[in-house]
Structure 1
Amino acid sequence: MALRISRRAALFGTAGALAAPVISVAQAQQTFEWVAGSVGGGWYTMAAGLSSLIAEENQDLRIRVVPGGGLANSTRVNNNQSAMGWGIDTFTAAAARGEDPYSAKHENLRSLGTGYSPTEHNLVRRADGGPEGMREILTQRGLRIACPQRSSTDEMTLQRILRFFGTSPDQIRANGGRYLNGSYADIAAAYADGQVDYLYAALAKPAAILTEIGQGRRPSRLVGFPDDLRRHLIETHAYAEGRLPAATYPSLQNADLMVTTMDSVILAHHTLPDDVAYRITRTLIRNRGQRLVNIHASMGAWDPATSWRYAGVPLHPGAQRAFREAGAMPAA
């Protein structure tokens, strides 16, 4: 069959004809920013893995992951500095209402569901001396403790715990102690090096830094949360509670531990296009189970049938469509 060259190709040349599709693809591709957590933490790992999965199934979508923190992410997404982000269920609801620690209502937030990564709060202690109970540990003179940055939900929760026990970061310092903030990698290194004797972090199991601490040279143990503290955090700040099985970190615990928990929400600015929110949520639903576990073990329990029920902020219309098409959400 004879090859026919169009008049347009003849006028613009072969190079121009070949270049046209490349320009079209570049124009069609959309990039959105996802604010996650600290580099090295579970949120960053999960967002990076989901970004790759979304791009794999949606060739024209790209998700750029940037570091963030649980407290600041709600405000960042609300202000459309990032189109998407991880949020914590209790703090996202507080942001929407404009309650402590937020000073104004965050009315631009929407969600793509919750339940993506149940997160345990963890207190690690030195096992070669010192008190063993949480109250005794956190109220002792000369306490040396490390926790994530001040913009994180970890640190805000620790401050609430200290306040419940009648102390504070300033009081710790005044009593000759040390209250160290840093990235997960920084605080893990500080604990391993003996710069501090205790480490506090909210991380979904199994958390890499806790596994590494358990395999390290320093004898260490995890500490359970007292009943009265768990009740206080539930009743006052809408946290949840859970049981950390003994087999989770066998070198750090020899029994199940009762701990305070919270869960992750995928936040989106209300202007995120409906079709984009739909395709992202559809991709997550299609890959529930082992594919999400391969990204992070904590995502294995995610259930679309309950994910959409989160009432802290409205469900994005695009996510509603995806949940309904999957049969997870009743028809309108």
Structure 2
Amino acid sequence: MLPPFSRRPFARRVVLGGALAVPFVRTALAQQTFEYVAGSLGGGWYTMAAGLASLIRDENPDIQLRVVPGGGLANSTRVNNNQSQMGWGIDTFTAAAVRGEEPYTAKHERIRTLGTGYSPTEHNLLRAADKQPEDLRGLLTQRGLRIGCPQRSSTDEMTLQRILRFLGTSPDKIRSEGGRYLNGSYNDIAAAFGDGQVDYLYVALAKPAAILTEIGQGRRSARLVGFPDDLRKHMIDTYAYNEGIIPAATYPQLQSADLPVTTMDSVIMVHDSVPEDVAYRMTRTLIRAKGQRLTQIHASMAGYDPATSWRYSGAPLHPGAIKAYREAGVMPAA
């Protein structure tokens, strides 16, 4: 047996070593990474997802979000299938996915949300300033129409198809009449517009959209087009969209007056397997960031209001989000 003066240092080294090792093991075990499916590169959703990932990581170092490109229609299915544990969705399309309604063929029962209202999104129809006619109905039904819009997995393109159907036309009809219906990323179709490959663009982006601002400062003069009353009513009554205004000062090079448009809003979807504590802490961080911190990520996020965010009925709130909203005093107890 070692004498007392030999045992004590050895014992202290063991205890100290254990004390140092335990936090390291605990931190490593607690580290969790989740995939966050956003929108196209160059779009507002991707920028906002990256900003939220950084914000959540700053307050919750053990929660890591890996942002990947996606599209509004496909994101619901990716989250429902747990390919991505988290993702952006659009209110009207998320509700359709949960119910298994068009454009979805099966109920998406594994989707939960952290609420809505994170980024009211306007639908924008842009025309080259030297092209006629100037009204939405006339320009979308003209022969030889050359228009660019995002890829077919996007809510932008699905919405454009719904508008074309209401007007009695379609992508196939546009092509059959000698026109062009170009799909691509936001950057690709913006470049095509600038190069004269298309004369019109259709994009759903929250204001102020960087691509529209850049086009307004570009070499090809362009103008935004307002949505007529009957179309806005049809989109609300048939598909549960909303309507709003793009104020005249939003894109001064592209508009000279307020423009009425169809709108929709962003939902944060999560798979129901995301741990309650993780969903709770992410939602708590978002609630605390209301106002300036969210607006610094993207101007459209100024509209986020926890008092109304939880009221979205298109998909169930995650239990962790319920806990955070109740703790914040904006959601009544059960």
TM bracket (short chain): over 0.9
| Structure 1 residue 184 displacement after superposition | 0.6
Q: TM-score, normalised by structure 2?
A: 0.94
For residues 104 and 63 of structure 2, the distance between their equivalents in structure 1, rounded to whole angstroms, comes to: 32
For residues 95 and 224 of structure 1, the distance between their equivalents in structure 2, rounded to whole angstroms, comes to: 29
Conserved 8 A contact 2:36-2:86: yes
Alpha carbons of structure 1 residues 6 and 69: separation in structure 2 relative to 1, 3 Å: farther
1:69 to 68, 71, 75: 71
Residue 194 of structure 2 is aligned to residue 192 of structure 1: yes
For residues 96 and 173 of structure 1, the distance between their equivalents in structure 2, rounded to whole angstroms, comes to: 33
- The DSSP-based 3-state class of the residue aligned with 1:123 is strand
The residue number in structure 2 matching 1:92 is: 94
Q: TM-score, normalised by structure 1?
A: 0.95
Supply the RMSD in Å over aligned alpha carbons. Answer: 1.7
Residue 174 of structure 2 is aligned to residue 172 of structure 1: yes
For residues 266 and 17 of structure 1, the distance between their equivalents in structure 2, rounded to whole angstroms, comes to: 40
The residue number in structure 1 matching 2:304 is: 302
* Code of the aligned partner of 1:183: S
Alpha carbons of structure 1 residues 20 and 176: separation in structure 2 relative to 1, 3 Å: same
- The DSSP-based 3-state class of the residue aligned with 2:255 is coil
| Structure 1 residue 26 displacement after superposition | 2.2
Alpha carbons of structure 1 residues 59 and 5: separation in structure 2 relative to 1, 3 Å: farther
The residue number in structure 2 matching 1:130 is: 132
The residue number in structure 2 matching 1:278 is: 280
| Structure 1 residue 17 displacement after superposition | 8.7
Residue 331 of structure 2 is aligned to residue 326 of structure 1: no
- The DSSP-based 3-state class of the residue aligned with 2:142 is coil
> In terms of mean alpha carbon deviation, does 161-170 or 19-28 score higher?
19-28
The residue number in structure 1 matching 2:235 is: 233
Aligned residues between the structures: 327
Residue 295 of structure 2 is aligned to residue 293 of structure 1: yes
Identity %: 76
| Structure 1 residue 10 displacement after superposition | 6.6
The residue number in structure 1 matching 2:258 is: 256
For residues 266 and 12 of structure 2, the distance between their equivalents in structure 1, rounded to whole angstroms, comes to: 54
For residues 10 and 244 of structure 1, the distance between their equivalents in structure 2, rounded to whole angstroms, comes to: 67
* Code of the aligned partner of 1:241: E
5+ residue gaps in structure 1?
none
For residues 181 and 11 of structure 2, the distance between their equivalents in structure 1, rounded to whole angstroms, comes to: 74
- The DSSP-based 3-state class of the residue aligned with 1:158 is helix
* Code of the aligned partner of 1:43: W
For residues 153 and 306 of structure 1, the distance between their equivalents in structure 2, rounded to whole angstroms, comes to: 23
For residues 31 and 307 of structure 2, the distance between their equivalents in structure 1, rounded to whole angstroms, comes to: 31
Alpha carbons of structure 1 residues 6 and 96: separation in structure 2 relative to 1, 3 Å: farther
For residues 283 and 255 of structure 1, the distance between their equivalents in structure 2, rounded to whole angstroms, comes to: 37
For residues 102 and 6 of structure 1, the distance between their equivalents in structure 2, rounded to whole angstroms, comes to: 66
For residues 287 and 5 of structure 1, the distance between their equivalents in structure 2, rounded to whole angstroms, comes to: 49
Write out aligned runs for 1:207-218 (5 A).
207-218=209-220
Conserved 8 A contact 1:125-1:197: yes
Conserved 8 A contact 1:9-1:17: no
Conserved 8 A contact 2:131-2:199: no
For residues 279 and 21 of structure 1, the distance between their equivalents in structure 2, rounded to whole angstroms, comes to: 21
Write out aligned runs for 1:95-110 (5 A).
95-110=97-112
For residues 105 and 179 of structure 1, the distance between their equivalents in structure 2, rounded to whole angstroms, comes to: 31
For residues 10 and 25 of structure 1, the distance between their equivalents in structure 2, rounded to whole angstroms, comes to: 20
5+ residue gaps in structure 2?
1-7
- The DSSP-based 3-state class of the residue aligned with 1:62 is strand
* Code of the aligned partner of 2:300: S
* Code of the aligned partner of 1:44: Y
Conserved 8 A contact 2:124-2:225: yes
